[in-house]
Chain A
Amino acid sequence: DTGVSQDPRHKITKRGQNVTFRCDPISEHNRLYWYRQTLGQGPEFLTYFQNEAQLEKSRLLSDRFSAERPKGSFSTLEIQRTEQGDSAMYLCASSLAGDRGSYFGPGTRLTVT
């Protein structure tokens, strides 16, 4: 499978715990995006990388959230001190700089209890 992959697909955690998600983009894609999607809503942009550089962060990305793409390939999204409001689907997408659309992974569904 050469699409975008995400791990884990599901995560249940207790409030206050830290969680980390991983995204592996399509191999030649230099841009990588994180989005958050709540039930019945469209995805909301969180942040994006071009190669290893994080170029934009949404105001939705509070200081409890951090994303990295250390070698310009896979990326991780960490949420510290999770809150119930963090429960959502976290989607990763990738593209080449000239692409019109982005290719999405299957998402990681986070449930904070």
Chain B
Amino acid sequence: GESVGLHLPTLSVQEGDNSIINCAYSNSASDYFIWYKQESGKGPQFIIDIRSNMDKRQGQRVTVLLNKTVKHLSLQIAATQPGDSAVYFCAERRAAGNKLTFGGGTRVLVKP
């Protein structure tokens, strides 16, 4: 069936290094792909999104790359900080209704 999944469940990164979180998707009909950050005890927080007709989008310290050929999405966090420690989810949005389909999440642990 249609799904959004992640390659790695946990990523440990040294403070100041760059982080790369990967995600695979299977539904080509999605119009947007979105990254969310979820801290313990909180709801998911929107980080950045990318439209399906783009291959790269940059935000503040974050970059999302979309490779439609291999149905792969990644989130790059530059100069990872302790406050970046959280679980990151990719999600795909279907045009009708804004409904989101989430993957299983990657936990990012930032080591001081």
* Binary contact readout A75-113 vs B (1 if CB under 8 angstroms, 0 otherwise): 000000000000000010101010111111111000000
Whether B104 and A101, one on each chain, are in contact in the complex, defined by CB atoms closer than 8 angstroms, is no
8 Å CB interface, B17-72 against A: 32, 34, 36, 41-46, 49, 51
- A43, closest chain B residue (CB): B102
CB of A4 within 8 A of chain B? Answer: yes
Q: How far is the CB of B45 from chain A (nearest CB, A)?
A: 7
Whether B43 and A104, one on each chain, are in contact in the complex, defined by CB atoms closer than 8 angstroms, is yes
With A41-B105, A42-B91, A42-B105 known as contacts, the answer to whether A102 contacts B100 (CB < 8 A) is yes
Instruction: Kindly list chain B residues whose C-beta atoms are within 8 Å of the C-beta of A95.
Output: 98
Total interface residues on B, using CB and 8 Å?
24
With A42-B91, A100-B34, A106-B42 known as contacts, the answer to whether A48 contacts B99 (CB < 8 A) is yes
Q: Among the listed A43, A48, A104, which residue makes an inter-chain contact with B97, where contact means beta carbons less than 8 Å apart?
A: A48
- B103, closest chain A residue (CB): A42
CB of A31 within 8 A of chain B? Answer: yes
Total interface residues on A, using CB and 8 Å?
27
In the complex, 19 of the A-B residue pairs with CB atoms within 8 angstroms, ordered by the A residue number, are A31-B97, A33-B98, A45-B99, A45-B101, A48-B97, A48-B98, A50-B97, A56-B97, A56-B99, A99-B98, A100-B51, A100-B93, A101-B34, A101-B49, A101-B93, A101-B100, A104-B36, A104-B45, A107-B43
| Interface residues, chain B, with chain A CB atoms under 8 Å away | 4, 32, 34, 36, 41-46, 49, 51, 89, 91, 93, 97-105
